[in-house]
Structure 1
Amino acid sequence: MDEIAKIALDNEMDLILAHKRSMKLAELSGLSLSAQTSFATAVSEVARTSIESGKRSYLVLGVKSDLKDDFIVASLTNQQTGENAKRGLEYAKRLVNKYQVLNNGGSTSIELYYAVPAFLKADIRKLDEWRTLFRNEPPVSPYEEIKRKNEQMQEMSERLQKSESQYKTLTNSLPLIIFSLGLEGNLLYANEWLSKFTGQTIESLNTDGWRSIVHEEDYDAFSHILKSHSARNAKVIRTQARFRNGNDADYFWHMVSITPFRDDKDELQYWIGYMVDIHAQKVYEETLKDNVELKQAQVQLELNQKMLQTYVDELNRSNKELQQFAFIASHDLQEPIRKLLFYSDYLLNQYETVLDNRGSDLLRNMHSASMRMRALIQDLLLFSHLNSKPLEFKPVDLNIIVKDALQDLEIAITEKNAQLNISSLPTVGGDAGMMRQLFENILGNSLKYSSTSRTPVINIRCTERNGQYEIVFEDNGIGFDEKYLPKVFTLFQRLHNREAYEGTGLGLAICQKIVELHQGRIWAEAREDVGASFFISLPSQLVKRSEL
């Protein structure tokens, strides 16, 4: 279903909104006044039951097409189950063309379908216009205005939480201590490197003013960083200080730098800072001053330090852009590609016969390039979301996982006439969705790189040793030279050209990330024109998320 509008159903005022917007969607769809009233009445009946239940519920209005007809659809989801959720359906089902009731765990969804003139199919621009119309429709009451503002604030809150999660993932992946300070010098945020190096928490550092980890001879200079509120007009504040390592109690030199973060009105909001280890540089400075060759090395080290400073400054500058990555990748990049695919496919189907050979070739090349771009965007999104996606480890039966993967790859298996020999697999602790992606990627890899001179054979087996399950995927494909093993699991690395084998170069990198998130290990063995084997080692005991 293509969603057009969504309404949270909390009280009787929302019932009026549900009726009004149902009427509006029916009107936009070209229905008569009586048909509009029938659809809106059916929606109101079911919505009334949802509101009376006192449970959290919401209404989604949209359009849906099947092979024969187009429909406007109202989907009402309620946290209750059983007969109470269906009482409003008794009258409503006589007013619509069809309906269905879906039970999903602790909630029930009732979908009402009303047939409309067959002009909506694939009309992307019209659907976008309707969404804009509903979004910008002026409120008819103060309640509707307040509700709309509240929904917008909730949406903004969700976006901020997602952006914050991505920012944390980014900063934790960099080999720097990155932090932010409030206007009074209190520590607001720090990435994982600070606690790993010092063994201290944000709360403990705020309590003692960092005295427990800063060398006493350097504390006065460092304290100017904490009192940076006195230099509000400064662009950058830097100092050097020794910090105690929480593991061995030794002190290491670090360069500390903070930069002001200002809003659109140039008002100071907080300070963004970083700490980079320069201990080696300081040792050179203090012990090798009289050695000419080592002085040259010191100059080179200083140049490297300046390059690092430039890199970190650029990182601070691009933080805002990185926070928009998820939105750009999921909408601004995918939507143009989707339209390119749609229009090029339409042109190939409808006008290929009137184009010359050159025009047809160019159109096919455009369609093929768009398909590759979509696959690359989807793989990049999947890879970037692996760390940010909250993991909830549960028992996962790998026999079910491999069965599902084979269903998804059924067409490729049939085309290749592949033979699969699968031994009994264990139940492991993990995320079922990620495990399915892992199995599909490895099996798909074996099918893609099968030999054209022999029937593809894929063997899957498992052994248990030293508290680990070792799962082996063995094929008789084209294999590869083992000198390329260091590159197999690297992002965007391809051992074959795109003309011979399609792909984005991300499949095995995604596999490695999934296995690492499950505290496992993946490696490969291969012989050129003989085949390849991929090995996955996973803990045999269920690992709780809190233990990760």
Structure 2
Amino acid sequence: MNSLKPEKGSILIVDDTPDNLRVLSATLGDRDYDVQCAINGKLALMAVANQPPDLVLLDIKMPEMDGYQVCEALKSQQKTADIPVIFLSALDDVIDKVKAFAVGGVDYITKPFQVEEVLARVEHQLTIRRLQKQLQNQNFRLQQLNEDLKRSNQELEQFAYIVSHDLQQPLQTITGFAELMLTLKSQINLEEEAEEYVLPILDEGMRLQQLIKNLLHYSRVGTKQAAFEAIDCNIILEETLSNLSLAIQESGAIITSEKLPMVFGDRLQLGQLFQNLIANAVKYHRPGIPPQITVSVMPKNQNWQFGIHDNGIGIPADKTQRIFQIFQRLHTQQEYPGNGIGLAICRKIIDRHRGDIWVESDLGLATSFYFTLPIYESQSPSITPEITTARNRPS
């Protein structure tokens, strides 16, 4: 039964002395290397152009074109620049060896050479060459996989947007009729038992409407992108508190904030970011303890580091990464209503703004969400906020 030997590598030997070519060619060929020979620099460059080898063994003293010039020619071409070159020469001065490495050689063997030394150095360089090729192939495959994943994510986001958008109208019809039945229950003689069925339809319909709304927000972060502009985060915070005024009032929350900086970004998305994080801080408070929420900011490594700090129920340490994934929830609907999309939206927004987002928490005591945004170019970090202003509970 015949078996194919694995290819060990191809080697081009360049030497103007036929005896050297014969010895090296026979020695390397006996070790299953694929060997080519050239008796001068011009023929060597022609051979490389025709069939690039994995390694070149190159003499220095040759007529017309010496080994240094051959190596420089190889390194000047993108197609051949990565081919390792081992110089094989009778020149033994340090200056000759230094020049060999300066023009791109990876090793230097002095004549007369020992066969075992040549074989060891050749195999060493070919092993490096094989590993480099494997790494290049793996990087290429990873790049292809990343491109496929990116394309798949874009298609999924577009699909989620289209489906969510198309679901809104029939759902509005369902909830609209449920509301109408409850409004006209006396006129249509709606039985008490029937009313018990209509109310869950309305409640679940409204919850599904909110889910669709959040899915649309999530998909739009990737597909509906507005141009970046200079934004005053103090105004964003004021609008957020206005939008959340009812929840703030019902929970008795007290929210304080440092003076916030200008940033460069998508106004709607940054508003959604602040609203999601502060809404969570209000919602996940401990029973009987009004939320105490602080918004902080400080310059750090060419970025503004924002913090949303609360005194709520906290997050288990092993769940702090999971919460940024879509549809990941730590509580039941009965405990804390929600759909597990808000923090996933926050992460997508921060990714688009080239920042980071993370959470630090003491279970049962407090949670701090941090995120970074690049410092606005026209603004100096020296405007670090100093004064904390209290925001009263809405009356």
TM range (shorter): 0.5 to 0.7
Does the C-alpha gap of structure 1 residues 278 and 451 become closer, same or farther in structure 2, counting only changes over 3 Å? closer
* Distance in 2 (alpha carbons) for counterparts of 1:447 and 1:538: 23
Q: Please, which runs of 5 or more residues in structure 1 have no aligned partner?
A: 1-211, 214-246, 255-274, 280-307, 544-548
CA–CA distance in 1 between the matches of 2:258 and 2:217?
29
Cα distance in structure 1, aligned partners of 2:373 and 2:159? 35
- The alignment status of 1:508 with 2:343, answered yes or no, reads yes
**Kept after mapping to 2: 8 A contact 1:459/1:473:** yes
Query: SS of the residue aligned with 1:498?
Result: coil
* Residue matched to 1:465: 300
TM-score, normalised by the number of residues in structure 2: 0.55
Q: Summarize deviations over 1:472-524 as a string: whole Å, max 9, x none.
A: 10111122212211211010001100112111110000001101111101101
1:468: Cα distance to partner?
A: 1.4
Number of equivalenced pairs = 243
Find the partner of 1:369 among 196, 199, 204.
204
CA distance in structure 1 between the partners assigned to 2:257 and 2:157 by the alignment: 43
Distance change >3 Å, CA 364–CA 399, structure 1 → 2: same
Structure 1 residues 325, 384: closer, same or farther in 2, change over 3 A? Answer: closer
Distance 1:248 1:480, change over 3 A: same
Q: CA deviation at 1:417?
A: 1.5
Structure 2 Cα separation of the partners of residues 505 and 532 of structure 1: 17
Indicate the residue corresponding to 2:375 in structure 1.
Answer: 540
Q: 5 Å matches for 1:225-240?
A: none
Counting only pairs closer than 5 Å after superposition, residues 295-444 of structure 1 correspond to structure 2 as 326-330=161-165, 332-351=166-185, 354-444=189-279
8 Å CA contact 1:467, 1:541 repeated in 2: no
d(CA) in 2 for partners of 1:489, 1:325: 18
Note if contact 2:161-2:215 (Cα within 8 Å) is conserved in structure 1: no
- Partners of 2:262 and 2:173 lie apart in 1 by 42
Deviation at 1:321, TM superposition (A): 10
| 2: CA distance, partners of 1:369 / 1:338 | 12
| Separation in structure 1 between the aligned mates of residue 240 and residue 161 of structure 2, nearest angstrom | 27
Instruction: Name which of 360, 377, 382 aligns with 1:525.
Output: 360
Secondary structure of 2:309's aligned partner: strand
**Secondary structure, aligned partner of 1:464:** strand
Q: How far did 1:527 drift? A: 1.9
The unaligned stretches of length 5 or more in structure 2 are 1-77, 80-131, 379-395
Contact 1:394–1:542 at 8 Å: present in 2 too? no
Q: Deviations along 1:163-183, whole A, 9 cap, x unmatched?
A: xxxxxxxxxxxxxxxxxxxxx
Matches within 5 A, 1:166-185: none
Question: Does the aligned pair in 2 maintain the 1:405–1:436 contact within 8 Å?
Answer: yes
Kindly state the Cα deviation for residue 322 of structure 1 after the two structures are TM-superposed: 8.5
Whole-angstrom CA distance in 2 between matches of 1:320 and 1:422: 39
Q: Contact (CA 8 Å) 1:430, 1:542: kept in 2 or not?
A: no
> Greater relative contact order: 1 or 2 (C-alpha under 8 angstroms, separation 6 or more)?
2
Q: Is the 8 A contact 2:326 2:341 kept in 1?
A: yes
Aligned counterpart, 1:252: 137
Q: Distance in 2 between matches of 1:507 and 1:352?
A: 40
Q: Go from structure 1 to structure 2 and tell me whether the alpha carbon gap of 1:369 and 1:420 turns closer, same or farther (over 3 Å shift).
A: same
Q: Per the alignment, in what secondary structure is the counterpart of residue 252 of structure 1? A: helix
Q: How far apart are the structure 2 equivalents of 1:465 and 1:495? A: 31
* 1:419-454 deviations in Å (ceiling 9; x for gaps): 111110111111111110100101111111122221
Q: Does 1:475 align with 2:360?
A: no
Task: Give the 3 Å change call, closer, same or farther, for CA 248–475 of structure 1 in structure 2.
Answer: farther
How far apart in 1 are the matches of 2:318 and 2:136? 42
Question: Which has the larger share of strand?
Answer: 1
Of the two, which has the highest radius of gyration?
Answer: 2
| Contact 2:304/2:375, CA 8 A, preserved across alignment | yes
Preserved CA contact (<8 Å) 1:352 1:360: no
**Structure 1 pair 352/438, CA: closer, same or farther in 2 (3 Å)?**
farther
Q: Within 1, Cα distance between the matches of 2:283 and 2:362?
A: 16
The aligned counterpart of 1:151 is none
Q: Which moved more, 1:388-397 or 1:493-502?
A: 388-397
> C-alpha separation between the residues in 2 aligned to 1:459 and 1:519?
24
**Structure 1 residues 376 and 249, CA, compared in 2 at 3 Å: closer, same or farther?**
same
Name the structure 1 match of 2:286. 451
C-alpha distance in 2 between matches for 1:320 and 1:467: 34
Deviation at 1:253, TM superposition (A): 7.7
Letter in 2 for 1:345: E
Name the Cα RMSD after superposition. 3.3
Aligned partners of 2:256 and 2:156: how far apart in 1?
A: 48
CA distance in 2, matches of 1:510, 1:419: 25
Q: 1:327 to 1:508 in 2, by over 3 A?
A: closer
- CA, structure 1 residues 277+526, in 2 after alignment: closer, same or farther (shift >3 Å)? closer
Alignment of 1:82-231 (within 5 A): none
1:325–1:508 CA distance, 2 compared to 1 (3 A): closer
- Partners of 1:341 and 1:434 lie apart in 2 by 28
Equivalent pair of 1:379/1:506 in contact (CA under 8 Å): yes
1:191-234 residue CA offsets vs partner (Å, 9 max, x unmatched): xxxxxxxxxxxxxxxxxxxxx99xxxxxxxxxxxxxxxxxxxxx
The verdict on how the C-alpha distance between 1:488 and 1:335 changes in structure 2, with shifts beyond 3 A counting, is: same
2:155 & 2:307 partners in 1: Cα distance?
Answer: 43
User: Do the aligned partners of residues 350 and 488 (structure 1) sit closer, same or farther apart at CA in structure 2, a change above 3 Å counting?
Assistant: same
Q: Deviations over 1:221-267 (max 9, x none)?
A: xxxxxxxxxxxxxxxxxxxxxxxxxx99975289xxxxxxxxxxxxx
C-alpha separation between the residues in 1 aligned to 2:143 and 2:355? Answer: 34
Please give the secondary structure, in 2, of the residue aligned with 1:512. helix
Q: Structure 1 pair 248/395, CA: closer, same or farther in 2 (3 Å)?
A: farther
- Cα contact 1:479–1:526 (8 A) shared by 2: yes
| C-alpha contact 2:160 2:216 (8 A) present in aligned 1 | no
Change (3 A) 1:253 1:276: closer
